[in-house]
Amino acid sequence: MNDKKLPLKPPRHLCLLFLFLGMYLTSAQTNKQRPPNFVIIFADDLGYGDLGVYGHPTIKTPNLDKMAHEGQKWTNFYAGASVCTPSRAALLTGRLPVRSGMASNKQRVLFPDSKNGLPADEITLAEQLKKVGYGTACIGKWHLGHKEQYLPTNNGFDYYFGIPYSNDMDATGGKNYKEAAKEGPSAIKIADYNVPLMRNTEIIERPAEQNTITKRYSEEAISYIKKNKDKPFLVYLAHNLPHIPLFASQAFSGKSERGLYGDVVSEIDDGVGKILATLKEEGLADNTIVIFTSDNGPWLPFKTHGGSAGLLRAGKGTTWEGGMREPTIFWSPGKIKPAVITDLGSTMDLFTTFSKLAGIKIPENRIVDGVDLSGPLFEQTKSPRKNMFYYRGTDLYAVRLGDYKAHFITEGAYGQFGEREEHSTPLLYNVNEDPSEQFDIAAEHPEIIEQINTLVAEHQSKLVKGKDMLAERE
Ligand code: MG
């Protein structure tokens, strides 16, 4: 037998100690270096007053309520527009949609026969995050152009699962929705809306099976998170509900005291709970920032099938507070300080805040309207957002500056809340003292109107309106 000497080995327990120490150091280093994951959960036409934690008496949203208590509930947070297409463009580009051409006085949103979509030279949040290697998924309603060059997969998203425009489009001439709604949920037919469901650039189902769509969107988000947990990711989950037509899966149908609308919101809430639970189970919660908000206010003419703006005036389609102020919750346990934030914020700020957190420069060759909300989120300092511009199409209707909001033009929508009216002296409200915009105080505060006029003049002096991308139809 060969009497070869064995090499000297350190004792087994020391090997294990070094192994664990190495693993700990690597993981600590990874956590330190790894930028946060982002999950944006965006409801469609959900009103300011439609969540339990925002005061709804019968819609039960235990998961969103808990998310708000563990995180931050924002009470002065705005969508970038009062209807779907421009609002989504604002969120993803961090810019007022008037700049990108994703707002129009001819068509308020894109339709299945629209020719165009989000211009290729706009930079989306997904494109920003791709620069540093994020995995990016868009799940749900897109509504920024249904032709291939405009789809999420050509706008910075690695993966897309969802419907390319609103769930009430491609109507097949079935029963009028308001009539069907009166008859009850069984009269609302999936086949009346021939909306396609897509995976990446392929149509995989038509009409989209809308009874199960909310559940499937949440499951897709969870599956994406699990598969991509080893690198930073962005999940943009844009539910197409509670925009009408309303549909809920069997587990939620007929359960809410608020009726079908409550069933739909409960199912979205359930998905939020499951997504947050997944982040905790996967050990990702403390390095993930989740935001829940909505694209615009409630679609009020649909009565009980539309939501509620709570104490805010009017709803979707208008530049009253009910059209653009949204229920908004930020969550990141251990990072985001639990609080109710009454400072101003906007969906446009996600572009800037998330880019900065990921260490990516804000583009300098264009005006970006988003501001960095890291201060109020992590440091309990004031929001840098001091104003908000309320556009309808490409016209500036109102401006908020601090506590005050001036309306230069007022107009209702969908046959409610009055005709277009220009105000030579703007209407002025203190929207902190008077969130319902009931008491015009223009006569008492000419100095505030002057300040707002100065802000408007400065804003307009730098404004270049983008080419109208919504007007042309086939
Ligand atoms: Mg909407």
Q: What's the domain range around 419?
A: 391-461
Full DSSP string of 372-398: --HIIIII-PPPS--EEEEEETTEEEE
The CA-CA-CA angle for residues 64, 70, 72, to 5°, reads 80
Counting the structural domains of the chain, the total is 2
| Ligand 1 midpoint to CA 243 (Å) | 6
pLDDT in tens, 118-166: 999 999 999 999 999 999 999 999 999 999 999 999 999 999 999 999 9
Distance between CA atoms of residues 142 and 123, nearest Å? 16
Residue 185 in domain? yes
| Ligand 1 midpoint to CA 42 (Å) | 10
266 and 311 both lie in a single domain: yes
223 and 330 both lie in a single domain: yes
Q: Percent of the chain having pLDDT more than 90?
A: 93
**Which residues have CB atoms below 5 A from the ion given as ligand 1?**
44-45, 84, 295-296
Stretch 199-206: mean pLDDT, rounded? 98
pLDDT in tens, 241-253: 999 999 999 999 9
- Neighbouring C-alpha atoms within 13 Å toward the C-beta of 43: 33
Q: Which of 382, 403, 427 is the last residue of a domain?
A: 382
313 and 371 both lie in a single domain: yes
For residue 64, give the nearest of 269, 350, 304 by alpha carbon: 269
| Ligand 1 midpoint to CA 335 (Å) | 30
169 and 93 both lie in a single domain: yes
CB 95 within 8 A of CB 103: no
Distance between CA atoms of residues 285 and 287, nearest Å? 5
pLDDT for res 453: 98
Q: Which of 355, 382, 409 is the last residue of a domain?
A: 382
Residue 451 in domain? yes
Peptide bond into 245 cis (omega under 30): yes
406 and 370 both lie in a single domain: no
CB 351 within 8 A of CB 92: yes
Distance between CA atoms of residues 232 and 286, nearest Å? 13
pLDDT in tens, 69-96: 999 999 999 999 999 999 999 999 999 9
| Ligand 1 midpoint to CA 377 (Å) | 26
Residue 420 in domain? yes
CB 40 within 8 A of CB 350: yes
- 21 pLDDT band (50/70/90 cuts)? low
The H or E element containing residue 346 is strand 339-346
Distance between CA atoms of residues 141 and 109, nearest Å? 13
240 and 374 both lie in a single domain: yes
144 and 84 both lie in a single domain: yes
Given a cut of 80, whether residue 360 has pLDDT beyond it is yes
- 12 pLDDT band (50/70/90 cuts)? low
Full DSSP string of 210-226: TTSHHHHHHHHHHHHHH
Count CB atoms within 10 A of the CB of residue 367: 13
Q: Name the one residue in this structure whose structure tokens are 């439609």.
A: 50
179 and 46 both lie in a single domain: yes
Coil, helix or strand at residue 56: coil
pLDDT in tens, 300-358: 999 999 999 999 999 999 999 999 999 999 999 999 999 999 999 999 999 999 999 99
| Ligand 1 midpoint to CA 448 (Å) | 32
- 178 pLDDT band (50/70/90 cuts)? very high
| Ligand 1 midpoint to CA 433 (Å) | 28
Residue 373 belongs to domain with CATH number: 3.40.720.10
Q: Average pLDDT over the chain, rounded to whole?
A: 95
Residue 24 in domain? no
Residues designated as active site? 84, 143
243 and 125 both lie in a single domain: yes
Given a cut of 50, whether residue 27 has pLDDT beyond it is no
Residue 28 in domain? no
- 33 pLDDT band (50/70/90 cuts)? confident
Distance between CA atoms of residues 211 and 229, nearest Å? 29
Distance between CA atoms of residues 161 and 235, nearest Å? 11
Residue 294 in domain? yes
Q: How far is CA 360 from CA 18, 69, 128, 290, in A?
A: 36, 30, 7, 19
pTM assigned to the model: 0.93
pLDDT for res 297: 98
Both tokens of residue 268? Answer: 């979205």
| Ligand 1 midpoint to CA 406 (Å) | 24
352 and 404 both lie in a single domain: no
The H or E element containing residue 427 is strand 421-430
Residue 14 in domain? no
- 9 pLDDT band (50/70/90 cuts)? low
Residue 2 in domain? no
| Ligand 1 midpoint to CA 404 (Å) | 26
158 and 267 both lie in a single domain: yes
Given a cut of 90, whether residue 17 has pLDDT beyond it is no
357 and 423 both lie in a single domain: no
pLDDT for res 418: 96
pLDDT in tens, 373-414: 999 999 999 999 999 999 999 999 999 999 999 999 999 999
pLDDT in tens, 308-321: 999 999 999 999 99
Residue 455 belongs to domain with CATH number: 3.30.1120.10
CB 150 within 8 A of CB 117: yes
| Ligand 1 midpoint to CA 44 (Å) | 4
| Ligand 1 midpoint to CA 359 (Å) | 31
Stretch 423-439: mean pLDDT, rounded? 98
Q: Percent of the chain having pLDDT more than 70?
A: 93
Q: Which of 365, 382, 399 is the last residue of a domain?
A: 382
